[in-house]
């Protein structure tokens, strides 16, 4: 296990586990979450088929600490640069071509919620609590959470949550589609890990990447272009499958 900026990384059975690891609140060390190069290095590991983001201890993450941010700004550090770096980190997470699941127990605030929103699937325990409390400090969610929350829950709910700064519980989060499923706390890790395994274990990486790319295209490209890309990926996989069959036939 390797830990950088309060975030730990390990791989179990081809599934990467990214643990927000500074209990009890698992506060983020900095607005940039962790260096992009670190995340890239971790996720580039050969044969990786899925990723689980989890919080150590009782909580997912309380996010960043605004005092840090203000202190950084006062001491002349370039906060904007750090925020931009954080955006790139979450974008990398979001665009990974393996499925990424967030398992959320306890608090999931601010930067923690930003990370969860960059994951492809969110499961939470009954005791999960979600908020973007940034407005209470007269700032806003800075890692594209305003965009991702709007995409996920629709404009009215996102606006209410971001401008109101109020906390919502697991049931509300499920109702507004901020999370995909509520799972008992004690089973959350196994459930999320198990789903990643079930989805990926007997699939070649090329198929996993193909499916994920097609899914991302649905978000990032026009419908027309996304469909064309899907056909291109399909043809590529067909060629690969034919090659594989030939190789197996040869003595």
Partner 1 sequence: METVSFPTAYSTLTFHLTEGIGLLRLSTPPSNKMSPLFFREFDAVINQIKDAPLVKALVISGAGRHFSSGADLSLLMEEIIRNDKLQDGQMEQTIPESLVGNYQSFSALEALPIPVIAAIRGVCLGSALELALFSHFRFCSEEAVFGLPETTFNLIPGIGGMTHMLELSGKTVALEYILRGKTFDASEAQKIGLVDQLLPRHNLLPVAIDFAGKIPANYHPAKKGRYLKNYFKHDQT
Residue ranges in contact with partner 1 by CB under 8 A: 99, 120-121, 177, 180-181, 195, 198-200, 203-204, 206-208, 210-211, 214-215, 218, 223, 226-228, 230-242, 244
Q: Considering only CA atoms, which of 120, 118, 132 is closest in space to residue 168?
A: 132
C-beta closer to partner 1: residue 71 or 228: 228
18 neighbors 52 (Cβ within 8 angstroms): yes
C-beta closer to partner 1: residue 159 or 205: 205
158-167, long-range: CB within 8 Å, 24+ apart, which pairs?
161/130, 161/131, 161/132, 162/132, 162/134, 162/135, 163/135, 164/135, 165/131, 165/132, 165/133, 165/134, 165/135, 165/136, 166/131, 167/129, 167/130, 167/131, 167/133
In the set 134, 224, 247, 250, the catalytic residue is 134
Q: Min. distance of Cβ 10 from partner 1 in angstroms?
A: 23
| Burial class of residue 149 (count of CB atoms within 10 Å of its CB; 0-12, 13-18, 19+) | buried
Q: Considering only CA atoms, which of 43, 152, 53, 32 is closest in space to residue 97?
A: 43
Q: Min. distance of Cβ 101 from partner 1 in angstroms?
A: 9
C-beta closer to partner 1: residue 73 or 235: 235
Residue linked to tokens 């960043």: 64
Q: Min. distance of Cβ 133 from partner 1 in angstroms?
A: 26
Q: Min. distance of Cβ 11 from partner 1 in angstroms?
A: 19
C-beta closer to partner 1: residue 165 or 204: 204
Q: Determine how many CB atoms are found less than 10 A away from the CB of residue 135.
A: 15
250 catalytic? Reply is: no
Q: Min. distance of Cβ 75 from partner 1 in angstroms?
A: 41
In the set 10, 77, 91, 114, the catalytic residue is 114
Q: Determine how many CB atoms are found less than 10 A away from the CB of residue 176.
A: 19
175 catalytic? Reply is: no
C-beta closer to partner 1: residue 32 or 93: 93
Catalytic residues: 114, 134
């Amino acid at each position: 296990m390797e830990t950088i900026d309060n975030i730990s990384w390990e791989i179990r059975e081809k599934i990467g586990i990214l643990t927000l690891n500074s209990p009890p609140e698992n506060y983020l060390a900095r607005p940039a979450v962790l260096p992009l190069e670190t995340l890239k290095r971790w996720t580039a590991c050969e044969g990786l088929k899925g990723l689980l983001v989890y919080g150590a201890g009782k909580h997912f993450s309380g996010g960043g600490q605004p005092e840090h941010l203000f202190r950084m700004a006062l001491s002349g550090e370039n906060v904007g640069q750090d925020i931009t770096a954080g955006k790139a980190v979450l974008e990398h997470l979001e665009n990974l071509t393996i499925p990424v699941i967030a398992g959320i127990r306890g608090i999931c605030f601010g930067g923690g919620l930003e990370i969860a929103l960059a994951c492809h699937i969110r499961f939470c325990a009954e005791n999960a609590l979600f908020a973007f409390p940034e407005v209470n400090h007269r700032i806003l969610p800075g890692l594209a959470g305003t965009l991702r929350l709007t995409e996920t829950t629709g404009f009215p709910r996102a606006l209410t949550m971001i401008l109101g700064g109020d906390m919502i519980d697991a049931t509300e989060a499920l109702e507004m589609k901020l999370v995909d499923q509520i799972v008992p706390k004690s089973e959350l890790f196994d459930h999320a890990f198990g789903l990643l395994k079930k989805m990926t274990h007997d699939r070649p990486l090329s198929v996993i990447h193909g499916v994920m790319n097609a899914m991302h295209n649905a978000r990032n490209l026009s419908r027309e272009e996304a469909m064309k890309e899907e056909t291109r990926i399909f043809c590529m996989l067909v060629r690969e499958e034919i090659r594989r069959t030939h190789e197996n036939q040869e003595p």
